[in-house]
Structure 1
């Protein structure tokens, strides 16, 4: 069961890994990063909600007492993470901004321990720290140590919002349909990002063209479809599912494999080769993720023992 959960989290990380390379192709076609984000969110929201309206219309129902949660999820867990990161990289090296954003597993672990007051196995803490150390090597932060105060603040807020995504994904009950939540959140984030992305200025005819990438001709429309379907709909659906099966603390750490997946996809599709340091860092990230995953095993064993003891007392 836990192996299946880990597999789902890995699929999610791999699918999210397509977002950077696909956005890069859209950028080569003339779209700005925020325009690409808007296309991604709006396209995914419309697609998912349309499919649900046909195959599972009940999933579109939003309980009245959950309206605020849906709004917060769209604004914080989706729109804010995307927008803050893309603004941060205009003031910080991409590697540094990415590393700061992926300190979110540590934030999640600390929140669970000190706010929710849940005791976690040591492997959860150690795995999160090891994963962050590995990411520092993957993004090679020593090559971009220029720090901008505002950029640093924006990246930290993006990390906090990313932590909020994992925590909120782990907090809703059975009255909320997972796919319905994701669909409305995507569409809601597109609305929130309207004044920043200004989709009315997008060069829409660009999607009828093709661009040269690493000696290959790639249709821009194909990159857009992969960005919407694989890197957003499938990625978020499997990601939220994994978090709910593994817990926010473990799911956040395993999700850090997205950076590795993104580097591998960029290597294969864009010809961006990985250096020895990046490969070594990737191994460290995987080790941290796997170590954190053992927390579910220990936690599950402890819960089973407690349930047995409770049964015996009864």
Structure 2
């Protein structure tokens, strides 16, 4: 059971890892980062909702009393995570912004402990801290370090919203269909991001061109489609499924492997070679994620024990 859950989380991290490289190819074709984000969210939302309309129409129903939750999921768990990060990297080095965003596992375990009042095993805390330390090495946060007050605030807000994604993915009940929530969340985020992304300025002709990647001509449309289907639809569906099976505290830490997956994919597809720091940091991240997952069974027992206090859900 736990092995299957970890495999699902691994698939999610691997699929999310394609986000950066595919967005970089779109950037080579002339799309701005926020334009690529909008294409990603809007395309994935429309695709998933169309598939559900044909094969699983009941998933599209939103219980009236759950409308606020769906709206919050769209704004916090999807749009804010994407938008805040891409605005943060205009004021901070990418490595620093990444490190700030991926402090979310620490925020999740603190929320679960002090707000939901669920006692977590030591491995959940230590695994999260080890994973963050490994990420600091992967992104070589000490290189070109410059701190901007607004950028720092935006990065921390992105981390908080990323933590919200894991907590909200773990908190809804059987009255909400997982696929429906993800589909509406993506489409809702595309609406929220309209003022920032301004898709009416996108050079749509870029998708008819090719981009030169490591000596090969790659169709921009193929990169965009891969980003929508694999790096978004498959990544989110498997990611939310993994969080619900592993718990938010463990799922958030295991998801940090996404940064390692992205670096490896960029190495293979874009020729961005990994140095000793990235390899060492990657091993530390994996160690932290594997250590944290050992808490899964005990967290589940704590959540279902009769004497455990009632959890406060996001």
Same fold (TM over 0.5): yes
Q: Secondary structure at the match of 1:142?
A: coil
Deviation string 1:93-152 (CA, Å, 9 cap, x unpaired) is 000000000000000000000011000000000000000000000000010310100000
Q: Secondary structure at the match of 1:141?
A: coil
Displacement of 1:91 after TM fit?
0.3
Q: Residue in 2 aligned with 1:310?
A: none
**Unaligned stretches of 5+ in structure 1?**
308-314
Displacement of 1:253 after TM fit?
0.2
Q: Secondary structure at the match of 2:142?
A: helix
Give the distance between the partners of 1:181 and 1:302, measured in 2 at CA: 27
Q: CA 1:302–1:171 in structure 2 vs 1: closer, same or farther (change >3 Å)?
A: closer
Over aligned residue pairs, what C-alpha RMSD do you find? 1.3
**8 A contact 2:118–2:302 mirrored in 1:** no
Give the distance between the partners of 1:141 and 1:38, measured in 2 at CA: 28
**8 A contact 1:44–1:183 mirrored in 2:** yes
Give the distance between the partners of 1:4 and 1:260, measured in 2 at CA: 20
Q: Does 1:163 align with 2:163?
A: yes
**8 A contact 2:118–2:303 mirrored in 1:** no
Give the distance between the partners of 2:16 and 2:290, measured in 1 at CA: 19
Deviation string 1:242-290 (CA, Å, 9 cap, x unpaired) is 0000000000000000000000000000000000110010000000000
Q: Does 1:210 align with 2:207?
A: no
Q: Residue in 1 aligned with 2:13?
A: 13
Q: CA 1:199–1:117 in structure 2 vs 1: closer, same or farther (change >3 Å)?
A: same
Q: CA 1:72–1:299 in structure 2 vs 1: closer, same or farther (change >3 Å)?
A: closer
Displacement of 1:216 after TM fit?
1.1
Give the distance between the partners of 1:287 and 1:305, measured in 2 at CA: 29
Give the distance between the partners of 1:134 and 1:213, measured in 2 at CA: 29
Displacement of 1:304 after TM fit?
8.5
Give the distance between the partners of 2:256 and 2:69, measured in 1 at CA: 25
Q: Does 1:88 align with 2:93?
A: no
Q: Residue in 2 aligned with 1:144?
A: 144
**8 A contact 1:96–1:144 mirrored in 2:** no
> If each structure's helix is expressed as a fraction of its own residues, which one has the higher value?
1
Q: Residue in 2 aligned with 1:55?
A: 55
Q: Residue in 2 aligned with 1:285?
A: 285
Q: Residue in 2 aligned with 1:244?
A: 244
1:76-155 equivalent positions in 2, closer than 5 A: 76-155=76-155
Q: Residue in 2 aligned with 1:179?
A: 179
Q: CA 1:157–1:301 in structure 2 vs 1: closer, same or farther (change >3 Å)?
A: closer
Q: CA 1:195–1:303 in structure 2 vs 1: closer, same or farther (change >3 Å)?
A: closer
Give the distance between the partners of 2:29 and 2:303, measured in 1 at CA: 52
Deviation string 1:58-82 (CA, Å, 9 cap, x unpaired) is 0000000000000000001000000
Displacement of 1:213 after TM fit?
1.1
Give the distance between the partners of 1:302 and 1:32, measured in 2 at CA: 46
Give the distance between the partners of 2:302 and 2:211, measured in 1 at CA: 54
Q: Secondary structure at the match of 1:175?
A: coil
How high is the TM-score relative to the length of structure 2?
0.96
Displacement of 1:303 after TM fit?
7.1
Q: Secondary structure at the match of 1:212?
A: strand
**8 A contact 1:40–1:232 mirrored in 2:** yes
